[in-house]
Structure 1
Amino acid sequence: MRVLLKEILDCTPDAAWHAIHSPAVFREVSSPFMAVESLEPDGFPTRWEPGEHPAVFSMLGLVPMGTQIIRLANSTHRPDGVRILRDTGRGVSGALSAVTLWDHRMAIAPDPAGTGKTLYRDQLIFRGRPATIALWPTFWAFWQWRMLRLKSLAPTWQHDVGIDDPNFVPLSQRESDDGN
């Protein structure tokens, strides 16, 4: 089954790209219906990098849903300039393990109208043993909620080079590290 959404977000594509790599944004757009806690040794990182990120999910923060591996990959070298964050994770335990196929793609591109805003496309393809049809309304409703939250948060996102880049070292600090 598939859920597909498309919206213009009121932020730059760079800010949207940065935001969809943020575990804090992920938790914010999932709240209050789904609470997510990291199972990584040091908790969620500030910014998700490609790879596997185990997490435990609970509905409304009360009903355990199980453990899921969030498996992220970036596609940033497309000729059309679209950047895609793809999650092909899997449920490991609990109700989440009933989902046998998970392919979630979030595509970021400049608004074709030239507004400086972001064209955001969100596609979820899933399968869940014999429960696929029963799961679709739940995923569809949750994805509508996520999109509403993304649209409301997007104007607050900004990508400030130097603040948002964990590898950034201010020029003044680089000079002092060199002994100058």
Structure 2
Amino acid sequence: MRVQLKLILNCEPDDAWRALRSPTVLQELYGPLLSLAPDSPMPTLWEPGAMQVTMKGAGVVSVGRQLIDLDFDLKRMPGVRILVDNGRPLSGPLALLDSWHHQMAVAPAPGQEGKTLYRDRLDITGPAALPLWMPLWTMWQWRGLRLSQMAPNWAFEPVPPEQPAGNGTNTETPAPR
């Protein structure tokens, strides 16, 4: 079974790629519904490799352990970067699935300067796939909403607000009289 998202995000593709690789963004994405407690310190940016985390509902109740096993596909198509998670649920309700394959792709949005085409696909199999599909689909809708809300704030070097007209650039403090 498959759960998918396809969105145009209001950010540059480089900013979206950096955000996808950020454990901090992942925590913010799911909060306050879910939180991730890692077994070892979280990196600043995900790199290829594996890490185990405990997922907690509302930050309190354990809902299972997950193996996050990341790889990057940067050669499939020019301009497309794909983060692939071949990890799997280790415990909890999602551990009833036989397989878990999650891909997130970013690319420049066609014809939309400064925007990102974001595609997110989760493939699951096993006897529990059918009953778990609707809760996962619902979670993916939450992901899509949160990604759309968060994306405009992902700029690495935010553009400073414009100065009001007539505001001089002299920042010197006048000498006392």
| TM surpasses 0.5 | yes
Matched, 1:133 2:130: yes
Partners of 2:91 and 2:128 lie apart in 1 by 16
- Do 1:67 and 1:96's aligned partners in 2 also have CA atoms closer than 8 Å? no
What 5-or-longer segments of structure 1 have no aligned partner?
161-180
**Paired residues for 1:107-126 under 5 Å:** 107-126=105-124
- Tell me the amino acid that sits aligned with residue 2 of structure 1: R
Corresponding residue number in structure 2 for 1:18? 18
Work out which of the two has the higher radius of gyration on C-alpha atoms and give 1 or 2: 2
* Partner residue, 1:150: 147
Given candidates 56, 73, 76, the residue that maps to 2:74 is: 76
Distance 2:142 2:120 in 1: 13
Equivalent residue of 1:85, what SS? strand
Q: Which has the higher helix share?
A: 1
Paired residue type of 2:57: M
Give the Å deviation of 1:115: 1.8
| Alpha-carbon offset, residue 91 of structure 1 | 1.5
Q: Structure 2 unaligned runs (5+)?
A: 158-177
**Residue 94 of structure 1, CA deviation:** 2.8
| Aligned ranges 1:48-59 → 2 under 5 Å | 48-59=46-57
CA distance in 1, matches of 2:131, 2:108: 35
Check whether the contact 1:72–1:85 (CA below 8 A) recurs between aligned residues: yes
Percent identical pairs in the alignment equals 46
Count of paired positions: 157
Matches of 1:71 and 1:15 in 2, distance apart? 22
Moved more, 23-32 or 94-103: 94-103
TM-score (norm 2): 0.84
Provide the residue aligned with 2:156 in structure 1. 159
With normalisation by structure 1, the TM-score equals: 0.83
